[in-house]
A and B are shown apart, each in its own frame.
Chain A
Amino acid sequence: MELLAQAQQFISLKGWDKEGLSETKQQQQKDLSSREKFIKSANAGKILANKCLRCGHIMLETIYYCEKCFGNKFEPVEFEGTGNMVTYTTQDVAPEGFEDTESYAWVVFKVDNAPFRVSGFLPGVKSAKGLSIGTKVKVSSFSPKHGLLLQKI
């Protein structure tokens, strides 16, 4: 199922769905919410963004109007989910839902070749000492429980 979903997304991003996919399939793709689309890309290790068709500004998929010109027509742009850490923390008191994770860092990273930053969950970090600003990370998947999962490269 996952592969099929990824394939559909790929087809959509290439614009092939407009010619080759049935109307029903096009509708299904359109029916995904912006967060669902973001999550789908994250599961493929990517960060999904939108490019404003009016001014060309690129922003995260989850933003509904262009931050620059307030246009609302976009084309999807996918970026590799890699980047460098801008800041981070490790926490000794975790919110509910994260107690099962032995240790992790919450990380903000600048997405490579994109004009924005994204935050994520980096598991397996016992101490902040093992990290530094600039550390390279990549998106591994999206977990319903822990959000955007990252790994160190």
Chain B
Amino acid sequence: MKDKVCVLGAGSTKYGKLNDSIIEIALNASKDAIDSAGITPNDIQAGYISNVFGVADKQVHMAPVILSNLGIPHVPGLTIESACGSGSVMFREAYANIAAGFYDCVLGLGVEKITHTGTTQSTTLFSYCSDFFYEGGNGASFPGLFASIARAYMTSYKANEEDLANVAVKNHENGILNPKAHVQRKITVDDVLKSPVVASPLKLYDCCPFSDGASAVILCNEEFAKKVGRPYVEVIGSGRGASPAAVQARKDITTIPSTVDAAKQAYKMANITPKDIDFAEVHDCFTIAEVIDIEDLGFFPKGTAVHAIREGATRRNGEIPINPSGGLKSKGHPIGATGIGQVVEVFEQFIGKAGDREIKNAEYALTHNFGATGASSAVHIFKRVG
């Protein structure tokens, strides 16, 4: 790598049901990130946009529209789609272009607007992210796909529905402290177990909400960051992985190979191990996903995460805090923005803007975000500077 890569600024809209157009949502987050970095749009040399369902709000070819409305129509941009992992996959591309020396400073923006389509249409649109011939085309929804993964996991490792509920309770506990979270509501294990079944064995509170929202970061090289003189965070590890697109093609349904591969690459690049990570933002689209993620990322041996969660190891004051932002479960899941939202959380944690959810004395943080049932995945590792 030629240059060290830094996150110099970050901003998010509130996640939830938003009335603004997808472009306005995108611009609001971009403006917050630009202001937070202490730069002007004139400093941005390229725009990386992640989005999946722009067509649902009548806008594709989004990058030029956003950059034009930021007053920089001459700046090149591109839009990247990788289902629910679009944000982190886009972050990797932006990272790589800074690291390679193509640009000194870029905008990385994730955005989604979906709630206006309603539950049935959203469910249908999401099913297009599956291997449709074998999954969506046979009637599988995304809750259904993860429910089938949950059933396989619960059978293999003798886990139960209460074990999954513990993930939801913990993430809602964190989300209450995040003013931008979609679902700011304390819940109990009993609330989860009594909530309506969405796809057996997953219930409503095992599932993240459909959310609108945008998150943006300013990425730059170290020289640029030092010149601006604002607090920044260093990106020290980046990994990408891939898995068979269809669940049926996975040798073991209880693990996500793309996560394992991406994590190995990121740890190697950062020259640290899972034990060095002080907190992580992981892809908890469903409670079962967080259980599998934290095993695949090397925080807990296979089949043991549910015990660790039950003992509080993943709470904010635990051995390895997971999803202090509230995660997708409570903060929300505007799918094009989610991976960038995780980076926003790391940035806010490291520059002292996370308020009551701050993880004290954290030095290293990890973000993990995947597309669909983990067909595409990216892991990044960050280091506090100063």
Contacts and interface: CB of A to CB of B under 8 A. Distances in A.
Interface stretch (A22-30, A69-77, A95-103): A95-103
Top 3 nearest A-B pairs (CB, nearest first) are A147-B138, A89-B147, A128-B200
Interface in B134-180: 134-141, 143-145, 147-149, 151-152, 155
B124 A95 contact: yes
Contacts of A65: none
A93 B149 CA distance: 17
A121 B148 contact: no
Contacts of B135: 106, 119
A93 B124 contact: no
Given A108-B248, A119-B135, A93 B141 contact: yes
B229 interface: no
A108 B148 contact: yes
A121 B143 CA distance: 16
A18 B36 CA distance: 70
B249 A117 contact: yes
Given A92-B197, A108-B253, A119-B140, 10 more contacts: A62-B133, A88-B148, A89-B202, A91-B139, A91-B198, A91-B199, A92-B198, A106-B144, A119-B246, A146-B139
Given A89-B200, A92-B198, A93-B198, A106 B151 contact: no
A86 interface: yes
A118 B144 CA distance: 16
Interface string A9-40: 00000000000000000000000000100000
Interface in B247-267: 247-249, 253
Contacts of B133: 35, 62, 147
B119 interface: yes
Interface residues of A, number: 32
B271 to A, nearest CB: 33
A117 B199 contact: no
B127 interface: yes
A121 B133 CA distance: 12
Given A91-B198, A108-B248, A119-B134, A96 B139 contact: no
A95 to B, nearest CB: 4
Contacts of A87: 148-149, 151-152, 155, 247, 253
Given A108-B247, A119-B246, A95 B127 contact: yes
A128 B119 CA distance: 22
Contacts of A101: 139
Interface SS of chain B: helix
A49 interface: no
Nearest to B254: A87
23 contacts: A87-B152, A87-B155, A87-B247, A87-B253, A89-B148, A89-B199, A89-B202, A91-B140, A91-B141, A93-B119, A95-B123, A95-B127, A104-B139, A106-B140, A106-B145, A108-B148, A108-B247, A108-B248, A108-B253, A117-B248, A117-B249, A133-B152, A146-B138
Interface string B104-128: 0000000000000001110110010
Nearest to A128: B200
B139 A98 contact: yes
B81 to A, nearest CB: 19
Contacts of B196: 92
Nearest to B149: A87
Contacts of B127: 95
Contact of A90 (B121, B124, B199): B199
A116 B247 CA distance: 11
Contacts of A96: 120-121, 123-124
A98 B31 CA distance: 42
B371 interface: no
Given A35-B133, A119-B134, A147 B139 contact: yes
Contacts of B119: 93
A86 B201 CA distance: 15
Contact of B138 (A121, A127, A128, A133): A121
A96 B151 CA distance: 24
B152 A118 contact: no
Interface in A119-133: 119-121, 127-128, 133
